[in-house]
């Protein structure tokens, strides 16, 4: 099923994300986690794409397993900045062969060891989106940044760039993580005002490890509310307490989103079925 069709249904949808193994040695462990998350019967599962295309083969393979063997809709990430058009076309052909019809189209991180743009490669996600649209009948998602992309000079410029990306053929948007829902609500108001009308899927990150938050903020520019900082300061050195607090904070965000009319929510579950399960348990009466 196309993700956009599911998102337009008049009911609440919760989805999760998994990432492929970095090495073959951890493949089995990742598959066990993926199968456990699929067993929770989310609306769909997204599968990330490795930096530099390193895990692209596993991305398609895992997305296919989720969809064709586990019976859960999947969406495969596809980044383009480090891939030639020919390489991307081969991945698209592989997806079509395996029946994968949902793609999250991303530019990806700019390589630090070479010039940019790389000759013969993509420069913008919009170029990838246009290519996917020409290549087959795919449902295409793209990323958006409620707090502004770290490379944009200001939010107005970022929204104009987002509008160009959406106009290139995007069916829906998925947000980068955020920890203050008012940032999302303000973002939705601003993009609708600029004519961006596609559905927006909020991305929620349950922070279960206090040490990971500094790197998250460095890479994404995400703002941490004082309430969240206090939680990390108090429980960050106690893994079990931090996991419980992180799940509770994410659950609180999701409940507020649902109360304010948001029907589709994506959880960056980080290959942790126990976290995904705990959140669904917290929401059991809310989303039934």
Whole-angstrom Cα distance, residue 129 to residue 163? Answer: 13
- Cβ atoms of 276 and 16 closer than 8 Å: yes
List the beta strands (DSSP E) in 19-91.
45-47, 74-79
3-287: CATH class: alpha beta
Q: Which of 272, 266, 279, 274 has the alpha carbon at shortest distance from 77?
A: 266
Handedness of CA 242, 181, 264, 222 (dihedral sign): negative
Q: Which of 203, 180, 198, 200 has the alpha carbon at shortest distance from 48?
A: 203
- Is the backbone of residue 204 left (phi > 0), alpha (psi -120 to 50) or beta? beta
Handedness of CA 40, 41, 43, 46 (dihedral sign): positive
The structural domains of the chain, with segments of one domain joined by +, span 3-287
The pLDDT, as a whole number, for residue 152 is 57
The pLDDT, as a whole number, for residue 22 is 80
Q: What is the pTM of this model?
A: 0.92
Residues in the chain predicted with pLDDT less than 70, given as ranges, are 50-56, 109-121, 149-154, 218-220
Q: How far is CA 254 from CA 136, 157, 205, 250, 282, in A?
A: 34, 29, 10, 6, 10
Let me know if 17 is a catalytic residue.
yes
* List 17, 86, 115, 130, catalytic entry: 17
Quote the distance between the C-alpha of residue 33 and its chain's center.
17
Whole-angstrom Cα distance, residue 224 to residue 41? Answer: 31
Q: Give tens-digit pLDDT for 204-233.
A: 999 998 887 777 776 667 788 999 999 999
Quote the distance between the C-alpha of residue 239 and its chain's center.
25
Q: Give tens-digit pLDDT for 128-158.
A: 999 999 998 999 999 999 987 655 556 788 8
């Amino acid at each position: 099923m196309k993700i956009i069709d599911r998102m337009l249904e008049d009911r609440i949808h919760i989805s999760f994300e998994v990432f492929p193994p970095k090495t073959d040695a951890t493949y089995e462990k990742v598959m066990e986690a993926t199968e456990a998350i699929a067993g929770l019967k989310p609306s769909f599962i997204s599968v990330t794409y490795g930096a530099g295309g390193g895990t692209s083969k596993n991305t398609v393979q895992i997305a296919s397993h989720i969809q064709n063997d586990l019976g859960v809709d999947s969406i495969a990430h596809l980044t383009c900045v480090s891939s030639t058009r020919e390489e991307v076309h081969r991945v698209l052909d592989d997806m079509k062969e395996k029946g994968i019809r949902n793609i999250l189209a991303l530019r990806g991180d700019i390589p630090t060891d070479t010039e940019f743009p790389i000759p013969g490669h993509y420069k913008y996600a919009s170029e990838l989106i246009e290519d996917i649209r020409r290549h087959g009948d795919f449902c295409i998602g793209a990323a958006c940044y409620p707090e502004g992309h770290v490379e944009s000079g200001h939010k107005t410029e970022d929204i104009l760039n987002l509008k160009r990306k959406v106009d290139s053929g995007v069916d829906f948007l998925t947000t980068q993580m955020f920890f203050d829902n008012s940032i999302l609500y303000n973002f939705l108001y601003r993009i609708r005002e600029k004519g961006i009308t596609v559905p927006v899927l909020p991305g929620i990150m349950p922070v279960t490890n206090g040490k990971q938050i500094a790197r998250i903020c460095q890479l994404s520019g995400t703002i941490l509310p004082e309430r969240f900082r206090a939680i990390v300061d108090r429980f960050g050195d106690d893994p079990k307490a931090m996991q419980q607090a992180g799940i509770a904070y994410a659950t609180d965000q999701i409940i507020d989103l649902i109360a304010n009319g948001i029907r589709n929510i994506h959880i960056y579950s980080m290959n942790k079925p126990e976290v995904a399960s705990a959140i669904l348990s917290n929401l059991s009466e809310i989303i039934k």
